[in-house]
Amino acid sequence: MKFTTIAALTGSLALCGCTTTPSVVPGFDERTGVTWTALNEPIAMAHAVPHVTTAAREYLYVGPLQRNEQGAREEFLWLGFATTAPRLFAADVPSLPDSLLLDVDGLMFELPVEVWEEPVPYDTAATVTHSVTARVSLDQLGLIAGAQSVGIELHHEDGTSVEYDLWSGDWIDWSAFYNAVEPGSEFARSVARN
Protein backbone atom coordinates (compact mmCIF):
# COMPACT_ATOMS: atom_id res chain seq x y z
CA MET A 1 0.00 0.00 0.00
CA LYS A 2 1.23 3.48 -0.74
CA PHE A 3 0.41 6.33 1.58
CA THR A 4 2.31 8.69 -0.67
CA THR A 5 -0.26 11.46 -0.33
CA ILE A 6 -0.42 11.12 3.45
CA ALA A 7 3.34 10.98 3.96
CA ALA A 8 4.10 13.86 1.59
CA LEU A 9 1.46 16.16 3.02
CA THR A 10 2.28 15.27 6.62
CA GLY A 11 5.99 15.85 6.03
CA SER A 12 5.31 19.21 4.37
CA LEU A 13 3.08 20.34 7.22
CA ALA A 14 5.64 19.31 9.82
CA LEU A 15 8.46 21.13 8.04
CA CYS A 16 6.56 24.38 7.69
CA GLY A 17 5.31 24.28 11.28
CA CYS A 18 1.66 24.20 10.24
CA THR A 19 0.60 21.26 12.39
CA THR A 20 -1.27 23.31 14.99
CA THR A 21 -4.58 22.82 13.18
CA PRO A 22 -5.61 19.20 12.83
CA SER A 23 -6.37 18.21 9.27
CA VAL A 24 -7.59 15.04 7.67
CA VAL A 25 -5.41 13.50 5.00
CA PRO A 26 -6.78 10.98 2.49
CA GLY A 27 -4.46 8.53 0.76
CA PHE A 28 -5.27 6.25 -2.18
CA ASP A 29 -3.68 2.82 -2.58
CA GLU A 30 -3.38 2.35 -6.34
CA ARG A 31 -2.62 -1.36 -5.90
CA THR A 32 -5.85 -2.25 -4.07
CA GLY A 33 -8.16 0.66 -4.91
CA VAL A 34 -8.65 1.42 -1.22
CA THR A 35 -8.83 4.96 0.17
CA TRP A 36 -7.30 5.44 3.61
CA THR A 37 -8.06 8.51 5.70
CA ALA A 38 -5.91 9.66 8.62
CA LEU A 39 -5.12 12.81 10.58
CA ASN A 40 -2.00 14.82 9.81
CA GLU A 41 -0.38 13.62 13.06
CA PRO A 42 -1.01 10.99 15.73
CA ILE A 43 -1.24 11.30 19.50
CA ALA A 44 2.06 10.39 21.18
CA MET A 45 1.96 8.34 24.37
CA ALA A 46 4.95 7.15 26.37
CA HIS A 47 6.21 5.29 29.38
CA ALA A 48 9.61 5.48 31.00
CA VAL A 49 12.07 2.59 30.99
CA PRO A 50 14.17 3.58 34.03
CA HIS A 51 15.97 0.22 34.18
CA VAL A 52 17.65 1.25 30.90
CA THR A 53 18.29 4.97 31.49
CA THR A 54 16.40 7.91 32.96
CA ALA A 55 16.04 9.51 29.52
CA ALA A 56 14.81 6.41 27.66
CA ARG A 57 11.16 6.12 26.75
CA GLU A 58 9.00 3.72 24.84
CA TYR A 59 6.53 5.55 22.66
CA LEU A 60 3.14 4.53 21.40
CA TYR A 61 1.76 6.60 18.55
CA VAL A 62 -2.02 6.38 18.21
CA GLY A 63 -4.01 7.64 15.26
CA PRO A 64 -7.41 7.04 13.72
CA LEU A 65 -7.70 5.42 10.30
CA GLN A 66 -10.61 4.77 8.00
CA ARG A 67 -10.51 2.19 5.22
CA ASN A 68 -12.95 2.86 2.39
CA GLU A 69 -13.25 0.22 -0.30
CA GLN A 70 -15.96 1.16 -2.79
CA GLY A 71 -18.10 2.69 -0.07
CA ALA A 72 -17.59 -0.09 2.52
CA ARG A 73 -16.00 1.73 5.47
CA GLU A 74 -14.10 0.40 8.48
CA GLU A 75 -12.49 2.42 11.26
CA PHE A 76 -9.33 1.52 13.15
CA LEU A 77 -6.96 2.73 15.80
CA TRP A 78 -3.44 2.53 14.42
CA LEU A 79 -0.73 2.03 17.07
CA GLY A 80 2.94 2.47 16.20
CA PHE A 81 5.73 1.45 18.58
CA ALA A 82 9.00 3.35 18.92
CA THR A 83 11.75 3.59 21.52
CA THR A 84 14.61 5.87 22.49
CA ALA A 85 16.28 3.05 24.44
CA PRO A 86 19.77 2.22 23.13
CA ARG A 87 19.94 -0.71 20.70
CA LEU A 88 21.85 -2.63 23.34
CA PHE A 89 18.54 -3.01 25.19
CA ALA A 90 16.46 -4.01 22.16
CA ALA A 91 15.62 -7.33 23.82
CA ASP A 92 13.86 -5.35 26.58
CA VAL A 93 11.35 -3.87 24.12
CA PRO A 94 8.01 -5.59 24.78
CA SER A 95 6.56 -8.01 22.27
CA LEU A 96 3.51 -7.08 20.25
CA PRO A 97 0.34 -7.05 22.35
CA ASP A 98 -2.60 -9.41 21.97
CA SER A 99 -5.14 -6.79 22.98
CA LEU A 100 -5.50 -3.30 24.32
CA LEU A 101 -7.63 -1.91 27.10
CA LEU A 102 -8.92 1.51 26.17
CA ASP A 103 -10.10 3.70 29.06
CA VAL A 104 -12.18 6.61 27.75
CA ASP A 105 -13.28 8.76 30.69
CA GLY A 106 -13.82 5.60 32.75
CA LEU A 107 -15.56 3.59 30.00
CA MET A 108 -13.47 0.48 29.31
CA PHE A 109 -13.16 -1.23 25.94
CA GLU A 110 -11.00 -4.31 25.41
CA LEU A 111 -10.02 -4.54 21.77
CA PRO A 112 -8.14 -7.31 19.96
CA VAL A 113 -5.23 -6.13 17.81
CA GLU A 114 -3.79 -7.29 14.51
CA VAL A 115 -0.33 -6.73 13.08
CA TRP A 116 -0.19 -3.85 10.59
CA GLU A 117 2.12 -4.87 7.76
CA GLU A 118 1.59 -1.88 5.49
CA PRO A 119 3.71 1.30 5.45
CA VAL A 120 3.37 3.58 8.47
CA PRO A 121 0.42 5.91 7.75
CA TYR A 122 1.68 8.69 10.05
CA ASP A 123 4.83 10.77 10.27
CA THR A 124 6.31 10.33 13.76
CA ALA A 125 9.15 11.96 15.68
CA ALA A 126 10.72 8.62 16.67
CA THR A 127 11.09 5.79 14.17
CA VAL A 128 8.23 3.30 14.36
CA THR A 129 9.59 -0.25 14.51
CA HIS A 130 6.28 -2.13 14.33
CA SER A 131 2.56 -1.41 14.26
CA VAL A 132 -0.81 -2.91 15.10
CA THR A 133 -4.41 -1.91 14.49
CA ALA A 134 -7.60 -2.38 16.46
CA ARG A 135 -11.07 -2.18 14.93
CA VAL A 136 -13.27 0.51 16.47
CA SER A 137 -16.67 1.98 15.74
CA LEU A 138 -17.44 5.56 14.80
CA ASP A 139 -19.16 5.89 18.18
CA GLN A 140 -15.94 4.87 19.94
CA LEU A 141 -13.96 7.40 17.87
CA GLY A 142 -16.49 10.06 18.88
CA LEU A 143 -16.07 9.14 22.54
CA ILE A 144 -12.28 9.36 22.22
CA ALA A 145 -12.47 12.76 20.52
CA GLY A 146 -14.74 14.07 23.25
CA ALA A 147 -12.86 12.57 26.19
CA GLN A 148 -11.21 14.48 29.00
CA SER A 149 -8.80 11.54 29.44
CA VAL A 150 -7.87 8.47 27.44
CA GLY A 151 -5.71 5.67 28.80
CA ILE A 152 -4.22 2.76 26.92
CA GLU A 153 -2.98 -0.43 28.49
CA LEU A 154 -1.50 -3.13 26.25
CA HIS A 155 -1.92 -6.77 27.23
CA HIS A 156 0.51 -9.51 26.21
CA GLU A 157 0.11 -13.27 25.86
CA ASP A 158 2.40 -13.91 28.84
CA GLY A 159 0.04 -11.97 31.13
CA THR A 160 2.11 -8.81 31.32
CA SER A 161 0.71 -5.38 30.53
CA VAL A 162 2.11 -1.93 29.80
CA GLU A 163 0.36 1.40 30.45
CA TYR A 164 1.12 4.51 28.42
CA ASP A 165 0.57 8.14 29.44
CA LEU A 166 -0.18 11.04 27.12
CA TRP A 167 3.07 12.60 25.87
CA SER A 168 1.88 15.04 23.21
CA GLY A 169 -1.26 15.83 21.28
CA ASP A 170 -4.87 16.48 22.19
CA TRP A 171 -7.70 13.98 21.82
CA ILE A 172 -10.14 16.76 20.81
CA ASP A 173 -8.12 17.05 17.57
CA TRP A 174 -9.73 13.77 16.59
CA SER A 175 -13.02 15.64 16.13
CA ALA A 176 -11.67 16.82 12.75
CA PHE A 177 -11.25 13.18 11.70
CA TYR A 178 -14.68 12.23 13.07
CA ASN A 179 -16.37 15.10 11.19
CA ALA A 180 -14.57 14.21 7.96
CA VAL A 181 -15.51 10.53 7.96
CA GLU A 182 -19.03 11.11 9.32
CA PRO A 183 -20.25 14.21 7.43
CA GLY A 184 -23.13 16.07 9.04
CA SER A 185 -22.26 14.77 12.50
CA GLU A 186 -21.48 18.29 13.79
CA PHE A 187 -19.24 16.85 16.48
CA ALA A 188 -19.05 18.72 19.75
CA ARG A 189 -17.06 17.72 22.82
CA SER A 190 -20.08 18.04 25.13
CA VAL A 191 -22.24 15.89 22.85
CA ALA A 192 -19.58 13.18 22.60
CA ARG A 193 -19.43 12.77 26.39
CA ASN A 194 -23.22 12.51 26.86
More confident residue, 6 or 129: 129
pLDDT confidence of residue 10: 41
CATH of the domain at 14: 2.60.40
pLDDT digits (tens, 9 = 90+) for 19-47: 456 688 888 888 888 989 999 999 999 98
Q: How far apart are CA 141 and CA 139, in angstroms?
A: 5
- What's the pLDDT score for residue 27? 84
**Is the pLDDT confidence value at 125 over 80?**
yes
Domain count, the chain: 1
Query: Which structural domain range is residue 54 located in?
Result: 4-182
170 pLDDT band, cuts 50/70/90, is very high
Question: Could you tell me if residue 14 is inside a domain?
Answer: yes
Residue 187 confidence (pLDDT):
52
Within-domain flag for 19:
yes
Q: Model pTM greater than 0.85?
A: no
Burial class (CB in 10 A: 0-12, 13-18, 19+), 110: exposed
| DSSP string of 40-95, one letter each residue | SS-EEEEEE-TTT-TT-EEEEEEEEEEEEETTEEEEEEEEEEEE-S-GGGGGGSPP
pLDDT at 96: 82
**189 in a structural domain:** no
